[in-house]
Chain A
Amino acid sequence: MGSEMEPLLLAWSYFRRRKFQLCADLCTQMLEKSPYDQEPAPDLPVSQAAWILKARALTEMVYIDEIDIDQEGIAEMILDENAIAQVPRPGTSLKLPGTNQTGGPSQAIRPITQTGRPVTGFLRPSTQSGRPGTMEQAIRTPRTTYTARPIMSSSGRFIRLGTASMLTSPDGPFINLSRLNLTKYSQKPKLAKALFEYIFHHENDVKTALDLAALSTEHSQYKDWWWKVQIGKCYYRLGMYRDAEKQFKSALKQQEMVDTFLYLAKVYMLLDQPVTALNLFKQGLDKFPGEVTLLCGIARIYEEMNNSSSAAEYYKEVLKQDNTHVEAIACIGSNHFYSDQPEIALRFYRRLLQMGVYNCQLLNNLGLCCFYAQQYDMTLTSFERALSLAENEEEAADVWYNLGHIAVGIGDVNLAHQCFRLALVNNNHHAEAYNNLAVLEMRKGHVEQARALLQTASSLAPHMYEPHFNFATISDKIGDLQRSYVAAQKAEAAFPDHVDTQQLIKQLKQHFAML
Protein backbone atom coordinates (compact mmCIF):
# COMPACT_ATOMS: atom_id res chain seq x y z
CA MET A 1 0.00 0.00 0.00
CA GLY A 2 2.77 2.32 0.96
CA SER A 3 4.64 1.70 -2.24
CA GLU A 4 1.74 3.04 -4.31
CA MET A 5 1.90 6.38 -2.63
CA GLU A 6 3.91 9.22 -4.03
CA PRO A 7 7.15 8.88 -2.08
CA LEU A 8 7.55 12.56 -1.28
CA LEU A 9 4.03 12.73 0.10
CA LEU A 10 4.67 9.62 2.14
CA ALA A 11 7.88 11.13 3.47
CA TRP A 12 5.99 14.27 4.42
CA SER A 13 3.41 12.18 6.17
CA TYR A 14 6.14 10.36 8.12
CA PHE A 15 7.63 13.70 9.06
CA ARG A 16 4.33 15.05 10.33
CA ARG A 17 3.73 11.89 12.32
CA ARG A 18 7.20 12.37 13.82
CA LYS A 19 8.56 9.13 12.34
CA PHE A 20 11.80 10.84 11.48
CA GLN A 21 13.95 7.79 10.84
CA LEU A 22 11.47 6.42 8.28
CA CYS A 23 11.20 9.85 6.71
CA ALA A 24 14.97 10.23 6.43
CA ASP A 25 15.36 6.72 4.96
CA LEU A 26 12.73 7.40 2.34
CA CYS A 27 14.32 10.71 1.43
CA THR A 28 17.69 8.97 1.07
CA GLN A 29 16.15 6.50 -1.38
CA MET A 30 14.62 9.31 -3.38
CA LEU A 31 17.86 11.22 -3.46
CA GLU A 32 19.74 8.13 -4.64
CA LYS A 33 17.37 7.74 -7.58
CA SER A 34 17.53 11.29 -8.81
CA PRO A 35 20.81 12.54 -10.21
CA TYR A 36 22.10 14.45 -7.30
CA ASP A 37 25.34 15.11 -5.65
CA GLN A 38 26.22 17.24 -2.69
CA GLU A 39 23.63 19.89 -3.37
CA PRO A 40 20.19 19.84 -4.93
CA ALA A 41 19.98 20.73 -8.57
CA PRO A 42 17.91 23.85 -9.14
CA ASP A 43 15.93 22.30 -11.98
CA LEU A 44 14.85 19.32 -9.89
CA PRO A 45 12.41 20.70 -7.35
CA VAL A 46 11.47 17.23 -6.12
CA SER A 47 14.99 16.30 -5.12
CA GLN A 48 15.38 19.73 -3.56
CA ALA A 49 12.26 19.15 -1.51
CA ALA A 50 13.52 15.73 -0.47
CA TRP A 51 16.84 17.27 0.48
CA ILE A 52 15.23 19.86 2.73
CA LEU A 53 12.89 17.30 4.22
CA LYS A 54 15.76 14.99 5.06
CA ALA A 55 17.71 17.81 6.66
CA ARG A 56 14.69 18.74 8.72
CA ALA A 57 13.99 15.15 9.76
CA LEU A 58 17.58 14.65 10.86
CA THR A 59 17.41 17.91 12.78
CA GLU A 60 14.19 17.00 14.53
CA MET A 61 15.67 13.69 15.64
CA VAL A 62 18.26 15.39 17.77
CA TYR A 63 16.43 18.65 18.38
CA ILE A 64 16.59 20.00 21.90
CA ASP A 65 14.97 23.20 22.94
CA GLU A 66 17.87 25.62 22.97
CA ILE A 67 16.21 27.72 25.65
CA ASP A 68 16.44 24.88 28.13
CA ILE A 69 20.10 24.28 27.63
CA ASP A 70 22.52 26.25 29.65
CA GLN A 71 24.79 23.74 31.12
CA GLU A 72 27.98 25.14 32.41
CA GLY A 73 30.94 22.88 32.65
CA ILE A 74 33.60 23.10 35.30
CA ALA A 75 35.84 24.99 32.92
CA GLU A 76 33.18 27.61 32.24
CA MET A 77 32.32 27.99 35.89
CA ILE A 78 35.82 28.31 37.26
CA LEU A 79 37.18 30.51 34.53
CA ASP A 80 34.09 32.68 34.53
CA GLU A 81 35.01 36.28 33.91
CA ASN A 82 31.65 37.38 32.63
CA ALA A 83 30.14 38.41 35.92
CA ILE A 84 30.32 42.16 36.21
CA ALA A 85 30.81 42.49 39.93
CA GLN A 86 33.21 40.13 41.63
CA VAL A 87 31.85 41.12 45.05
CA PRO A 88 28.17 41.72 44.32
CA ARG A 89 25.73 43.33 46.70
CA PRO A 90 23.39 40.91 48.42
CA GLY A 91 20.24 40.14 46.47
CA THR A 92 21.74 41.03 43.11
CA SER A 93 23.71 37.93 42.36
CA LEU A 94 23.22 34.23 41.94
CA LYS A 95 26.55 33.53 43.58
CA LEU A 96 25.47 34.43 47.09
CA PRO A 97 22.18 32.63 47.27
CA GLY A 98 22.11 32.27 51.02
CA THR A 99 21.92 35.96 51.69
CA ASN A 100 18.22 36.53 51.45
CA GLN A 101 16.29 33.82 53.15
CA THR A 102 12.75 35.06 52.98
CA GLY A 103 10.36 32.78 54.66
CA GLY A 104 11.69 29.57 53.19
CA PRO A 105 12.24 26.52 55.39
CA SER A 106 15.64 26.45 57.02
CA GLN A 107 18.45 24.11 56.24
CA ALA A 108 17.53 22.01 59.24
CA ILE A 109 14.41 20.90 57.41
CA ARG A 110 15.09 21.21 53.72
CA PRO A 111 18.24 19.60 52.30
CA ILE A 112 20.51 21.83 50.28
CA THR A 113 22.77 21.34 47.33
CA GLN A 114 26.44 22.08 47.57
CA THR A 115 25.89 25.62 46.37
CA GLY A 116 23.76 26.36 49.41
CA ARG A 117 20.42 26.36 47.63
CA PRO A 118 17.53 24.27 48.83
CA VAL A 119 16.97 21.25 46.59
CA THR A 120 14.49 22.04 43.91
CA GLY A 121 11.40 20.13 42.95
CA PHE A 122 12.26 19.99 39.30
CA LEU A 123 15.40 19.22 37.39
CA ARG A 124 16.34 21.06 34.22
CA PRO A 125 19.66 20.83 32.41
CA SER A 126 20.69 24.12 33.96
CA THR A 127 19.88 23.19 37.54
CA GLN A 128 22.31 20.34 37.23
CA SER A 129 25.43 22.40 37.36
CA GLY A 130 24.99 24.93 40.15
CA ARG A 131 28.18 26.91 40.36
CA PRO A 132 30.57 25.46 42.91
CA GLY A 133 32.90 27.92 44.54
CA THR A 134 36.25 26.30 43.99
CA MET A 135 37.84 23.85 41.64
CA GLU A 136 38.28 21.33 44.42
CA GLN A 137 34.64 21.55 45.35
CA ALA A 138 33.62 21.15 41.74
CA ILE A 139 35.55 17.94 41.30
CA ARG A 140 34.58 16.37 44.59
CA THR A 141 30.91 17.07 44.11
CA PRO A 142 28.71 14.56 45.86
CA ARG A 143 26.83 12.55 43.33
CA THR A 144 23.82 12.02 45.54
CA THR A 145 21.85 15.15 44.85
CA TYR A 146 21.65 15.19 41.12
CA THR A 147 21.37 18.95 41.15
CA ALA A 148 25.03 19.22 41.88
CA ARG A 149 26.66 17.10 39.27
CA PRO A 150 29.27 18.91 37.25
CA ILE A 151 30.21 18.14 33.71
CA MET A 152 33.69 18.74 32.56
CA SER A 153 32.77 21.11 29.81
CA SER A 154 29.47 21.93 28.23
CA SER A 155 30.93 21.82 24.77
CA GLY A 156 32.08 18.28 25.42
CA ARG A 157 28.58 16.88 25.48
CA PHE A 158 27.68 18.55 22.18
CA ILE A 159 30.79 17.28 20.51
CA ARG A 160 30.02 13.74 21.65
CA LEU A 161 26.48 14.00 20.38
CA GLY A 162 27.75 15.40 17.12
CA THR A 163 30.21 12.59 16.49
CA ALA A 164 27.56 10.04 17.35
CA SER A 165 25.19 11.51 14.81
CA MET A 166 27.86 11.02 12.19
CA LEU A 167 28.59 7.48 13.24
CA THR A 168 24.99 6.48 12.63
CA SER A 169 25.26 7.03 8.88
CA PRO A 170 27.63 4.47 7.42
CA ASP A 171 28.06 6.31 4.09
CA GLY A 172 29.46 9.37 5.74
CA PRO A 173 27.59 12.50 6.68
CA PHE A 174 24.50 13.59 4.79
CA ILE A 175 25.90 17.00 4.00
CA ASN A 176 29.62 17.57 3.76
CA LEU A 177 29.94 20.87 5.54
CA SER A 178 33.42 21.70 4.35
CA ARG A 179 32.30 21.44 0.73
CA LEU A 180 29.26 23.68 1.13
CA ASN A 181 29.18 26.95 -0.72
CA LEU A 182 27.58 28.99 2.02
CA THR A 183 27.22 32.16 -0.04
CA LYS A 184 25.09 30.33 -2.56
CA TYR A 185 22.78 28.95 0.10
CA SER A 186 22.42 32.27 1.84
CA GLN A 187 20.79 33.60 -1.35
CA LYS A 188 17.94 31.15 -0.87
CA PRO A 189 16.34 32.09 2.43
CA LYS A 190 14.02 29.10 2.75
CA LEU A 191 16.73 26.59 2.11
CA ALA A 192 19.18 28.45 4.27
CA LYS A 193 16.95 28.25 7.35
CA ALA A 194 16.60 24.48 7.15
CA LEU A 195 20.30 24.14 6.46
CA PHE A 196 21.17 26.37 9.41
CA GLU A 197 19.11 24.32 11.81
CA TYR A 198 20.70 21.14 10.46
CA ILE A 199 24.21 22.50 10.96
CA PHE A 200 23.42 23.93 14.37
CA HIS A 201 21.51 21.05 15.92
CA HIS A 202 22.60 17.96 14.05
CA GLU A 203 26.23 18.62 13.22
CA ASN A 204 26.81 20.92 16.22
CA ASP A 205 29.19 22.93 14.10
CA VAL A 206 28.52 26.34 15.59
CA LYS A 207 31.20 28.15 13.63
CA THR A 208 29.91 27.11 10.22
CA ALA A 209 26.38 27.84 11.37
CA LEU A 210 27.49 31.31 12.41
CA ASP A 211 29.08 31.88 8.99
CA LEU A 212 25.89 30.89 7.26
CA ALA A 213 23.78 33.06 9.55
CA ALA A 214 26.04 36.05 9.04
CA LEU A 215 25.89 35.72 5.26
CA SER A 216 22.14 35.26 5.34
CA THR A 217 21.45 38.24 7.53
CA GLU A 218 23.57 40.29 5.18
CA HIS A 219 21.54 38.99 2.26
CA SER A 220 18.32 39.98 3.98
CA GLN A 221 19.82 43.44 4.56
CA TYR A 222 19.64 42.99 8.32
CA LYS A 223 15.87 43.03 8.19
CA ASP A 224 15.11 39.47 9.23
CA TRP A 225 14.88 39.13 13.03
CA TRP A 226 15.06 35.34 12.77
CA TRP A 227 18.64 35.42 11.55
CA LYS A 228 19.61 37.84 14.30
CA VAL A 229 18.27 35.46 16.91
CA GLN A 230 20.23 32.63 15.30
CA ILE A 231 23.44 34.65 15.30
CA GLY A 232 22.78 35.39 18.96
CA LYS A 233 22.35 31.68 19.65
CA CYS A 234 25.68 30.95 17.97
CA TYR A 235 27.45 33.68 19.95
CA TYR A 236 25.90 32.28 23.10
CA ARG A 237 27.23 28.80 22.37
CA LEU A 238 30.64 30.26 21.63
CA GLY A 239 30.60 32.07 24.97
CA MET A 240 30.49 35.59 23.52
CA TYR A 241 27.69 36.79 25.72
CA ARG A 242 27.94 40.54 25.11
CA ASP A 243 27.73 40.02 21.34
CA ALA A 244 24.80 37.68 21.82
CA GLU A 245 23.06 40.32 23.91
CA LYS A 246 23.43 42.89 21.10
CA GLN A 247 21.95 40.54 18.52
CA PHE A 248 18.98 39.59 20.68
CA LYS A 249 18.26 43.22 21.54
CA SER A 250 18.38 44.19 17.90
CA ALA A 251 16.03 41.31 17.05
CA LEU A 252 13.64 42.43 19.78
CA LYS A 253 13.51 45.92 18.29
CA GLN A 254 12.38 44.48 14.97
CA GLN A 255 9.95 41.91 16.21
CA GLU A 256 9.03 41.08 19.77
CA MET A 257 8.97 37.35 20.29
CA VAL A 258 8.71 35.31 23.48
CA ASP A 259 11.69 33.21 22.46
CA THR A 260 13.93 36.20 22.08
CA PHE A 261 13.03 37.42 25.55
CA LEU A 262 13.93 34.01 26.93
CA TYR A 263 17.27 33.88 25.12
CA LEU A 264 18.19 37.36 26.26
CA ALA A 265 17.30 36.52 29.86
CA LYS A 266 19.54 33.47 29.61
CA VAL A 267 22.42 35.70 28.60
CA TYR A 268 21.80 37.94 31.62
CA MET A 269 21.72 34.93 33.91
CA LEU A 270 25.14 33.89 32.68
CA LEU A 271 26.40 37.42 33.21
CA ASP A 272 25.15 37.02 36.80
CA GLN A 273 22.58 39.77 36.52
CA PRO A 274 19.39 38.16 37.80
CA VAL A 275 17.71 41.50 38.52
CA THR A 276 18.13 42.62 34.92
CA ALA A 277 16.74 39.29 33.78
CA LEU A 278 13.74 39.74 36.08
CA ASN A 279 13.05 43.20 34.67
CA LEU A 280 13.33 41.83 31.16
CA PHE A 281 10.81 39.10 31.91
CA LYS A 282 8.44 41.70 33.33
CA GLN A 283 8.83 43.77 30.17
CA GLY A 284 8.03 40.65 28.21
CA LEU A 285 4.96 40.06 30.32
CA ASP A 286 3.69 43.55 29.41
CA LYS A 287 3.79 42.55 25.76
CA PHE A 288 2.62 38.98 26.24
CA PRO A 289 0.41 39.00 29.34
CA GLY A 290 0.08 35.63 31.05
CA GLU A 291 2.77 33.95 28.96
CA VAL A 292 3.66 30.76 30.84
CA THR A 293 7.32 30.50 29.85
CA LEU A 294 8.00 34.06 30.99
CA LEU A 295 6.22 33.55 34.32
CA CYS A 296 8.10 30.33 34.80
CA GLY A 297 11.37 32.10 34.03
CA ILE A 298 10.67 34.60 36.81
CA ALA A 299 9.84 31.82 39.24
CA ARG A 300 13.08 30.01 38.40
CA ILE A 301 15.16 33.11 39.04
CA TYR A 302 13.49 33.68 42.40
CA GLU A 303 14.09 30.06 43.27
CA GLU A 304 17.75 30.31 42.38
CA MET A 305 18.04 33.46 44.49
CA ASN A 306 16.65 31.47 47.39
CA ASN A 307 13.48 33.52 47.56
CA SER A 308 11.09 30.60 47.71
CA SER A 309 8.00 32.54 48.71
CA SER A 310 8.15 34.76 45.61
CA ALA A 311 8.99 31.72 43.53
CA ALA A 312 5.92 29.90 44.81
CA GLU A 313 3.79 32.96 44.02
CA TYR A 314 4.90 32.94 40.41
CA TYR A 315 4.57 29.18 40.09
CA LYS A 316 0.97 29.59 41.23
CA GLU A 317 0.53 32.24 38.58
CA VAL A 318 1.86 29.72 36.05
CA LEU A 319 -0.68 27.15 37.19
CA LYS A 320 -3.49 29.67 36.74
CA GLN A 321 -2.57 29.89 33.07
CA ASP A 322 -1.63 26.27 32.49
CA ASN A 323 -2.86 23.82 35.08
CA THR A 324 -0.85 20.92 33.71
CA HIS A 325 2.54 22.55 34.07
CA VAL A 326 4.69 19.78 35.54
CA GLU A 327 7.50 22.03 36.75
CA ALA A 328 5.16 24.36 38.63
CA ILE A 329 3.26 21.50 40.25
CA ALA A 330 6.46 19.73 41.30
CA CYS A 331 8.03 22.86 42.75
CA ILE A 332 4.93 23.90 44.70
CA GLY A 333 4.58 20.34 45.93
CA SER A 334 8.12 20.16 47.24
CA ASN A 335 7.72 23.60 48.84
CA HIS A 336 4.69 22.39 50.74
CA PHE A 337 6.43 19.19 51.78
CA TYR A 338 9.34 21.03 53.29
CA SER A 339 7.14 23.62 54.97
CA ASP A 340 5.48 20.90 56.99
CA GLN A 341 2.37 20.37 54.89
CA PRO A 342 2.81 16.90 53.42
CA GLU A 343 -0.95 16.51 52.95
CA ILE A 344 -1.03 19.36 50.48
CA ALA A 345 2.15 18.18 48.80
CA LEU A 346 0.48 14.80 48.40
CA ARG A 347 -2.36 16.40 46.45
CA PHE A 348 0.06 18.04 44.04
CA TYR A 349 2.00 14.85 43.44
CA ARG A 350 -1.21 12.90 43.01
CA ARG A 351 -2.23 15.41 40.40
CA LEU A 352 1.01 14.66 38.54
CA LEU A 353 0.26 10.95 38.72
CA GLN A 354 -3.19 11.58 37.28
CA MET A 355 -1.61 13.53 34.45
CA GLY A 356 0.37 10.47 33.45
CA VAL A 357 3.78 11.18 34.92
CA TYR A 358 4.90 7.75 36.05
CA ASN A 359 8.48 7.41 37.10
CA CYS A 360 10.75 6.55 39.97
CA GLN A 361 11.07 10.09 41.30
CA LEU A 362 7.36 10.78 41.43
CA LEU A 363 6.50 7.52 43.18
CA ASN A 364 9.28 8.06 45.68
CA ASN A 365 7.89 11.52 46.47
CA LEU A 366 4.38 10.11 46.73
CA GLY A 367 5.62 7.48 49.17
CA LEU A 368 7.29 10.09 51.36
CA CYS A 369 4.25 12.39 51.30
CA CYS A 370 1.93 9.49 52.11
CA PHE A 371 4.04 8.48 55.08
CA TYR A 372 4.29 11.96 56.56
CA ALA A 373 0.59 12.61 55.86
CA GLN A 374 -0.20 9.40 57.76
CA GLN A 375 -1.62 7.52 54.79
CA TYR A 376 0.27 4.37 55.60
CA ASP A 377 -1.59 2.08 53.22
CA MET A 378 -0.05 3.72 50.17
CA THR A 379 3.44 4.27 51.48
CA LEU A 380 5.13 0.94 50.94
CA THR A 381 3.42 0.18 47.63
CA SER A 382 4.60 3.53 46.30
CA PHE A 383 8.16 2.79 47.30
CA GLU A 384 7.99 -0.70 45.83
CA ARG A 385 6.94 0.76 42.50
CA ALA A 386 9.57 3.46 42.74
CA LEU A 387 12.21 0.77 43.20
CA SER A 388 10.95 -1.24 40.27
CA LEU A 389 10.98 1.88 38.09
CA ALA A 390 14.46 3.04 39.05
CA GLU A 391 16.49 3.42 35.90
CA ASN A 392 19.93 3.40 37.40
CA GLU A 393 21.66 2.61 40.64
CA GLU A 394 21.75 6.19 41.83
CA GLU A 395 17.99 6.47 41.66
CA ALA A 396 17.61 3.18 43.51
CA ALA A 397 20.03 4.44 46.14
CA ASP A 398 17.92 7.52 46.77
CA VAL A 399 14.76 5.43 47.09
CA TRP A 400 16.45 3.09 49.59
CA TYR A 401 17.69 6.11 51.50
CA ASN A 402 14.16 7.48 51.82
CA LEU A 403 12.85 4.04 52.77
CA GLY A 404 15.39 4.12 55.56
CA HIS A 405 13.62 7.19 56.89
CA ILE A 406 10.30 5.36 56.86
CA ALA A 407 11.93 2.56 58.85
CA VAL A 408 13.31 5.08 61.34
CA GLY A 409 9.86 6.60 61.54
CA ILE A 410 8.19 3.33 62.46
CA GLY A 411 11.00 2.52 64.87
CA ASP A 412 12.36 -0.50 63.02
CA VAL A 413 16.05 0.19 63.50
CA ASN A 414 17.19 -3.04 61.87
CA LEU A 415 15.23 -2.33 58.72
CA ALA A 416 16.56 1.22 58.69
CA HIS A 417 20.09 -0.10 59.00
CA GLN A 418 19.55 -2.41 56.06
CA CYS A 419 17.95 0.31 53.96
CA PHE A 420 20.84 2.72 54.43
CA ARG A 421 23.29 -0.11 53.72
CA LEU A 422 21.44 -0.86 50.49
CA ALA A 423 21.55 2.81 49.56
CA LEU A 424 25.32 2.65 49.95
CA VAL A 425 25.58 -0.56 47.96
CA ASN A 426 23.79 1.14 45.10
CA ASN A 427 25.70 4.38 45.36
CA ASN A 428 28.97 4.44 47.18
CA HIS A 429 29.00 8.24 47.36
CA HIS A 430 25.72 8.72 49.19
CA ALA A 431 26.84 11.07 51.95
CA GLU A 432 23.43 11.34 53.63
CA ALA A 433 23.21 7.58 53.96
CA TYR A 434 26.68 7.47 55.55
CA ASN A 435 25.60 10.10 58.07
CA ASN A 436 22.36 8.36 59.00
CA LEU A 437 24.09 5.02 59.26
CA ALA A 438 26.55 6.61 61.64
CA VAL A 439 23.71 7.84 63.84
CA LEU A 440 22.30 4.31 63.96
CA GLU A 441 25.72 2.83 64.75
CA MET A 442 26.13 5.35 67.54
CA ARG A 443 22.82 4.21 69.04
CA LYS A 444 24.24 0.72 69.15
CA GLY A 445 27.31 2.10 70.89
CA HIS A 446 29.78 1.50 68.05
CA VAL A 447 31.71 4.73 68.44
CA GLU A 448 34.64 3.95 66.16
CA GLN A 449 32.45 2.81 63.28
CA ALA A 450 30.26 5.86 63.65
CA ARG A 451 33.28 8.15 63.57
CA ALA A 452 34.63 6.50 60.44
CA LEU A 453 31.27 6.78 58.69
CA LEU A 454 30.92 10.42 59.65
CA GLN A 455 34.37 11.22 58.36
CA THR A 456 33.49 9.65 55.03
CA ALA A 457 30.24 11.59 54.93
CA SER A 458 31.85 14.92 55.69
CA SER A 459 34.57 14.46 53.13
CA LEU A 460 31.99 13.47 50.50
CA ALA A 461 29.69 16.39 51.23
CA PRO A 462 31.42 19.26 53.01
CA HIS A 463 28.38 21.48 52.38
CA MET A 464 26.13 19.49 54.72
CA TYR A 465 26.20 20.50 58.35
CA GLU A 466 24.90 17.19 59.75
CA PRO A 467 28.06 15.05 59.51
CA HIS A 468 30.23 17.86 60.89
CA PHE A 469 27.88 18.46 63.78
CA ASN A 470 27.52 14.76 64.59
CA PHE A 471 31.27 14.31 64.47
CA ALA A 472 31.66 17.24 66.84
CA THR A 473 29.10 15.75 69.22
CA ILE A 474 30.77 12.34 69.27
CA SER A 475 34.24 13.79 69.69
CA ASP A 476 32.98 15.98 72.50
CA LYS A 477 31.52 12.96 74.26
CA ILE A 478 34.70 10.91 74.09
CA GLY A 479 36.77 13.88 75.20
CA ASP A 480 38.53 14.75 71.95
CA LEU A 481 37.82 18.43 72.38
CA GLN A 482 40.20 19.72 69.74
CA ARG A 483 38.64 17.65 66.93
CA SER A 484 35.22 18.46 68.22
CA TYR A 485 35.95 22.18 67.99
CA VAL A 486 37.29 21.92 64.43
CA ALA A 487 34.27 19.95 63.29
CA ALA A 488 31.85 22.26 65.07
CA GLN A 489 33.34 25.22 63.27
CA LYS A 490 32.86 23.47 59.95
CA ALA A 491 29.27 22.81 60.91
CA GLU A 492 28.81 26.46 61.78
CA ALA A 493 30.23 27.52 58.45
CA ALA A 494 27.77 25.23 56.67
CA PHE A 495 24.77 26.31 58.74
CA PRO A 496 25.36 29.47 60.79
CA ASP A 497 21.93 29.53 62.45
CA HIS A 498 22.07 26.04 63.95
CA VAL A 499 21.43 26.52 67.69
CA ASP A 500 22.94 23.24 68.86
CA THR A 501 26.19 23.94 67.06
CA GLN A 502 26.41 27.39 68.61
CA GLN A 503 25.85 25.92 72.06
CA LEU A 504 28.47 23.27 71.50
CA ILE A 505 31.02 25.84 70.39
CA LYS A 506 30.23 28.01 73.41
CA GLN A 507 30.70 25.04 75.72
CA LEU A 508 33.99 24.11 74.09
CA LYS A 509 35.26 27.67 74.34
CA GLN A 510 34.48 27.63 78.05
CA HIS A 511 36.43 24.38 78.38
CA PHE A 512 39.43 25.82 76.58
CA ALA A 513 39.28 28.98 78.66
CA MET A 514 39.47 26.91 81.83
CA LEU A 515 42.61 25.13 80.72
Chain B
Amino acid sequence: MADVKMFREVLPKQGQLSVEDITTMVLCKPKLLPLKSLTLEKLEKMQQAAQDIIRQQKTAEEEKREKAH
Protein backbone atom coordinates (compact mmCIF):
# COMPACT_ATOMS: atom_id res chain seq x y z
CA MET B 1 0.00 0.00 0.00
CA ALA B 2 2.98 2.23 0.49
CA ASP B 3 3.47 2.37 -3.31
CA VAL B 4 0.08 3.88 -3.88
CA LYS B 5 0.90 6.92 -1.82
CA MET B 6 3.86 7.70 -4.05
CA PHE B 7 1.56 8.70 -6.91
CA ARG B 8 -0.30 11.95 -6.79
CA GLU B 9 -3.60 12.45 -8.49
CA VAL B 10 -3.21 14.65 -11.54
CA LEU B 11 -6.83 15.35 -12.43
CA PRO B 12 -7.49 19.03 -11.78
CA LYS B 13 -10.52 19.52 -9.59
CA GLN B 14 -11.31 23.01 -10.80
CA GLY B 15 -10.69 25.06 -13.88
CA GLN B 16 -10.85 23.91 -17.49
CA LEU B 17 -9.12 20.92 -18.99
CA SER B 18 -7.91 21.50 -22.50
CA VAL B 19 -6.08 19.31 -24.95
CA GLU B 20 -4.19 20.75 -27.85
CA ASP B 21 -5.25 19.18 -31.13
CA ILE B 22 -2.16 18.01 -32.94
CA THR B 23 -2.56 16.86 -36.51
CA THR B 24 -1.29 13.33 -36.78
CA MET B 25 -0.61 11.32 -39.85
CA VAL B 26 -3.34 9.04 -41.10
CA LEU B 27 -3.03 5.34 -41.65
CA CYS B 28 -4.92 3.75 -44.49
CA LYS B 29 -7.74 1.67 -43.09
CA PRO B 30 -7.84 -2.10 -42.81
CA LYS B 31 -9.35 -3.59 -45.90
CA LEU B 32 -11.99 -6.29 -45.94
CA LEU B 33 -11.42 -8.32 -49.06
CA PRO B 34 -14.45 -8.76 -51.29
CA LEU B 35 -15.51 -12.34 -51.92
CA LYS B 36 -15.54 -13.47 -55.52
CA SER B 37 -18.67 -14.54 -57.28
CA LEU B 38 -18.85 -18.00 -58.82
CA THR B 39 -18.97 -16.55 -62.30
CA LEU B 40 -15.83 -14.57 -61.69
CA GLU B 41 -14.03 -17.58 -60.30
CA LYS B 42 -15.04 -19.68 -63.29
CA LEU B 43 -14.00 -16.95 -65.68
CA GLU B 44 -10.60 -16.64 -64.05
CA LYS B 45 -10.14 -20.40 -64.01
CA MET B 46 -11.03 -20.65 -67.68
CA GLN B 47 -8.70 -17.85 -68.58
CA GLN B 48 -5.88 -19.44 -66.62
CA ALA B 49 -6.48 -22.77 -68.32
CA ALA B 50 -6.57 -21.10 -71.72
CA GLN B 51 -3.30 -19.32 -71.07
CA ASP B 52 -1.70 -22.55 -69.89
CA ILE B 53 -2.74 -24.32 -73.06
CA ILE B 54 -1.40 -21.54 -75.24
CA ARG B 55 1.87 -21.54 -73.33
CA GLN B 56 2.20 -25.32 -73.63
CA GLN B 57 1.63 -25.19 -77.35
CA LYS B 58 4.17 -22.44 -77.76
CA THR B 59 6.85 -24.35 -75.89
CA ALA B 60 6.00 -27.48 -77.87
CA GLU B 61 6.39 -25.56 -81.12
CA GLU B 62 9.69 -24.11 -80.03
CA GLU B 63 11.00 -27.54 -79.13
CA LYS B 64 9.99 -28.84 -82.52
CA ARG B 65 11.79 -26.00 -84.22
CA GLU B 66 14.91 -26.61 -82.20
CA LYS B 67 14.90 -30.27 -83.16
CA ALA B 68 14.46 -29.43 -86.81
CA HIS B 69 17.54 -27.20 -86.78
Contact = CB atoms under 8 A, between A and B. Distances in A.
B10 interface: no
B32 A161 contact: no
A498 to B, nearest CB: 9
Interface in A126-163: 127-128, 145-147, 157, 160-161, 163
Contacts, number: 132
A466 B26 contact: yes
Interface string B41-67: 011001101110110010000000000
Contact of A436 (B27, B33, B42, B46): B27
Interface string A461-485: 0001010011001100000000000
Of the candidates B24, B32, B47, B54, the one having the most CB atoms from chain A within 10 angstroms of its own CB is B32
B29 A365 contact: no
B42 A146 contact: no
A145 B31 contact: yes
A505 B68 CA distance: 71
B37 interface: yes
A350 to B, nearest CB: 14
Contact of A120 (B25, B34, B49, B54): B34
A405 B30 CA distance: 6
Contacts of A109: 29
Contacts of A362: 35
A351 interface: no
Report whether over half of chain A's contact residues are helix, strand or loop; otherwise say mixed.
helix
B18 interface: no
Contacts of A108: 26, 29
B23 A432 contact: no
A500 B23 contact: yes
A238 interface: no
Given A62-B46, A164-B49, A334-B32, A327 B37 contact: yes
A209 interface: no
Of the candidates B34, B36, B40, B53, the one having the most CB atoms from chain A within 10 angstroms of its own CB is B34
Contacts of A164: 46, 49-51, 53-54
A91 interface: no
B28 interface: yes
Contacts of A333: 32
A503 B23 contact: yes
Contacts of B37: 68, 122-125, 326-327
12 contacts: A119-B34, A122-B34, A147-B34, A160-B51, A167-B54, A365-B32, A402-B30, A436-B27, A438-B25, A442-B25, A470-B25, A470-B26
Interface of B: 23-37, 39-40, 42-43, 46-47, 49-51, 53-54, 57
